[in-house]
A and B are shown apart, each in its own frame.
Chain A
Amino acid sequence: MKSFKKSILLLSLLAIMLVSSVSTVFAAEVSAPEFSTGCNLSSGENKALSLFIQNADVAPHSYTLTAGDSANSYELYFSTNVATVKSMTVPAGTGNQVDLNITLNGNASVNEDKLTVKAVRDDGKENIVNLSIIINKDYALSVKSMLDKINVLSGKSADFTFSVMNNGSQDLNNIKIKPELPYKWFASQGTEAIMNLKPGETGTTTMKIDVPNSQIAGNFTAKFTAVSDEIGSSLISVPVTVKTSSNIGYWMIGILILIAGFTLVQFKRHGRR
């Protein structure tokens, strides 16, 4: 019950943080070269900015959306409450909301960045909004896998070792690794391991992942984030190649050899007929 309440509290806090961090920007009918306030962003943090596309024309129009021209590297995509979008049609005289989702990839090269959002109307008319992005360097957490690729046999466990670094200027507490694993895979050890890191410090932690017997061989992706009380890191993907245990093959070949031996004995005993 306690943990449930804690989860509810955390969720509420997250919701409040998300709402407070969202800035509303209006796309005007004409180019607006001045910078609008965008958002504060930490490394690995996801933010959604709500944009309104106003169609003042008497006819409906389709708008193609793009974002770019930034100094730092971001993962960017547009979405409505239904799905990810690249363009949208706005009826005459109305406005539609679209969210721009931003995640800072890696470390920021500049702390004060800008982002240009373009809405190109089907008749070629362009609406441009410049957003300012302030990189919060107080809290920055990054995680990386010590191995580029993991090989594991089905039904066995694999150790994933991570290097977690505090890239910010403040202490990070209770850092944990959170896995996002394929169906029926489980983290059997390492989920409760906690680290506290001072600015610039790097820690390592290992997580044991159990791959089920039923897992057929193939290439999979295990995703991980490092989460502290203060901030979360960006999601990293670790390619995992699952191979079938040789034991099954040995069993099959063993049975085959047994049958072949039995056949040979039959031939020896009774001769060819």
Chain B
Amino acid sequence: MLRTENLGKKYGDFTAVDNLNLEVKEGSIFGFLGHNGAGKTTTISMLTTLILPISGNANIGGYDVVKDNLKVRNLIGYLPENVTLYGDLTAVENLRFFGKLSGVKDVDASIENILKLLEFTEWKNRKVKTYSKGMRQRIGIAQAILHNPKILFLDEPTSGLDPQGTKELRDILLLLNQERGTTIFMNTHLLSEVTKLCTDIGIISKGRLLLADSIKNIEKEFPEEKSLEEIYFKIEGAKR
């Protein structure tokens, strides 16, 4: 579903992503782990065609993120970190706008379906600025999946959510993955979420990919470590 080859990005002298080689299988939930400033958001920005890599290439669904950017955009859904949407618009108005930008045919019917799926119909006509963080995040997910993307990119989706909100979001993502077969690529630094949700992980530090594999394989590879947290710190520590 997603493959990168020697993908790189620099901001001036600072290397944000360095020769990233990554593969994400279709139908998987991929957790991209790393501490703040490790290069997670830069990677997701390149994969969602928002910024250009300076080296290497990346393919999503067989399309190059630079050359076939429009085709890639049709395949992906994206929820950035801390998105607030348009506060003065209702959930439906927000979704209608983004649905039209995504070329959704029967946009109103699609909105109804998504809102039902996310159990959000009750609040659909309230202005977004009146929502809690968890509700905003749900509407954020709704706009990202409105056009039924093959792969969903989420940047720190649980950031700022309370335990209840985090659980609800987790349930939604599992639902999407299981019912719609949506591949999920999720940036996070919360290891507990990864353990509960992801099938595969990648660990990035200072722009370099340290490890990428299925959780099962990783646990086999590190039999002495009791948790993913220990594995993470071992790999991170070794790198440092």
Q: A residues engaging B (CB < 8 A)?
A: 270-273
Rounded to whole angstroms, the CA-CA distance of A273 and B46 in the bound complex is: 12
Rounded to whole angstroms, the CA-CA distance of A272 and B69 in the bound complex is: 9
Q: Which residue of A lies closest to B69 (CB)?
A: A273
Interface residues of B in 39-75 (CB under 8 A from A): 49, 52, 66-67, 69
B67 / chain A contacts, CB cutoff of 8 Å = 271
- Having A270-B52, A272-B69, A273-B49, one finds 5 other A-B pairs with CB under 8 Å, namely A271-B66, A271-B67, A271-B69, A273-B52, A273-B69
A272 / chain B contacts, CB cutoff of 8 Å = 69
Q: Would you call the interface of chain B mostly helix, strand, loop, or mixed?
A: loop
Rounded to whole angstroms, the CA-CA distance of A273 and B69 in the bound complex is: 7
Rounded to whole angstroms, the CA-CA distance of A271 and B69 in the bound complex is: 10
In order of increasing CB-CB distance, the 8 nearest A-B pairs are A273-B69, A271-B67, A273-B49, A273-B52, A271-B66, A271-B69, A270-B52, A272-B69
Q: Which residue of B lies closest to A270 (CB)?
A: B52
Rounded to whole angstroms, the CA-CA distance of A115 and B49 in the bound complex is: 92
B66 / chain A contacts, CB cutoff of 8 Å = 271
B49 / chain A contacts, CB cutoff of 8 Å = 273
Rounded to whole angstroms, the CA-CA distance of A271 and B49 in the bound complex is: 12
Minimal beta-carbon separation of A156 from chain B (angstroms): 52
In the assembled complex, 8 residue pairs joining A and B whose CB atoms fall closer than 8 Å, in A order, are: A270-B52, A271-B66, A271-B67, A271-B69, A272-B69, A273-B49, A273-B52, A273-B69
B52 / chain A contacts, CB cutoff of 8 Å = 270, 273
Minimal beta-carbon separation of A193 from chain B (angstroms): 71
Rounded to whole angstroms, the CA-CA distance of A151 and B49 in the bound complex is: 58
Minimal beta-carbon separation of B62 from chain A (angstroms): 19
Minimal beta-carbon separation of A119 from chain B (angstroms): 76
Minimal beta-carbon separation of A55 from chain B (angstroms): 78
Q: Which residue of A lies closest to B51 (CB)?
A: A273
A270 / chain B contacts, CB cutoff of 8 Å = 52
Rounded to whole angstroms, the CA-CA distance of A106 and B127 in the bound complex is: 82
Rounded to whole angstroms, the CA-CA distance of A271 and B64 in the bound complex is: 13
Rounded to whole angstroms, the CA-CA distance of A40 and B197 in the bound complex is: 115
Minimal beta-carbon separation of B29 from chain A (angstroms): 29
Q: Which residue of A lies closest to B49 (CB)?
A: A273
A271 / chain B contacts, CB cutoff of 8 Å = 66-67, 69
Rounded to whole angstroms, the CA-CA distance of A270 and B69 in the bound complex is: 12
Minimal beta-carbon separation of B212 from chain A (angstroms): 28
Rounded to whole angstroms, the CA-CA distance of A84 and B93 in the bound complex is: 71
Minimal beta-carbon separation of B64 from chain A (angstroms): 11
Q: Which residue of A lies closest to B50 (CB)?
A: A273
Q: Which residue, A270, A271, A272, A273, has most C-beta atoms of chain B within 10 A? A: A273
Rounded to whole angstroms, the CA-CA distance of A271 and B67 in the bound complex is: 8
Minimal beta-carbon separation of B133 from chain A (angstroms): 31
Rounded to whole angstroms, the CA-CA distance of A272 and B68 in the bound complex is: 10
Rounded to whole angstroms, the CA-CA distance of A199 and B52 in the bound complex is: 90
Rounded to whole angstroms, the CA-CA distance of A270 and B52 in the bound complex is: 10
Minimal beta-carbon separation of B66 from chain A (angstroms): 8
